């Protein structure tokens, strides 16, 4: 498939690109080469090949999903500027 200068101008307009007229023939040639390469991909026999999400056949390591209470109250409140019992103390805000 070959792309002409008129098609390049239309693509440039749709993509909101400014391609000067003197460069449009060069871009047309490059786009034609790209489409020829894509056409070559159509010739590849892919029967029986599963689609891939990634070329790496690995999975992420997981940890057990165990609910804990954290038990870090003292560590968390150690950085608090003010605290009362096991809670942060903040200034009262009234509008």
Domain that holds residue 38: 5-42
* Total number of domains constituting the chain: 1
pLDDT tens-digit readout, 14-61: 999 999 999 999 999 999 999 999 999 889 998 988 888 777 777 788
Report the distance separating Cα 83 and Cα 77, nearest Å. 7
CATH number, domain of 15, equals 1.10.20
pLDDT at residue 68 greater than cutoff 90: no
Q: Is residue 63 part of a domain?
A: no
Q: Is residue 27 part of a domain?
A: yes
Q: Is residue 52 part of a domain?
A: no
pTM over 0.85: no
Report the distance separating Cα 85 and Cα 6, nearest Å. 76
Q: Is residue 34 part of a domain?
A: yes
Q: Is residue 21 part of a domain?
A: yes
Structure tokens at 91: 């200034």
């Amino acid at each position: 498939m070959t792309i002409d200068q008129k098609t390049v101008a239309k693509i440039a307009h749709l993509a909101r690109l400014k391609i000067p007229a003197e460069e449009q023939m060069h871009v047309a040639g490059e786009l034609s080469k790209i489409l020829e390469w894509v056409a070559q991909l159509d010739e590849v026999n892919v029967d029986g090949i599963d689609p891939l999400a990634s070329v790496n056949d690995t999975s992420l390591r997981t940890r057990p999903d165990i609910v804990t209470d954290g038990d870090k109250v003292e560590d968390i409140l150690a950085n608090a500027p003010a605290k009362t019992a096991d809670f942060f103390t903040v200034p009262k805000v009234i509008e």
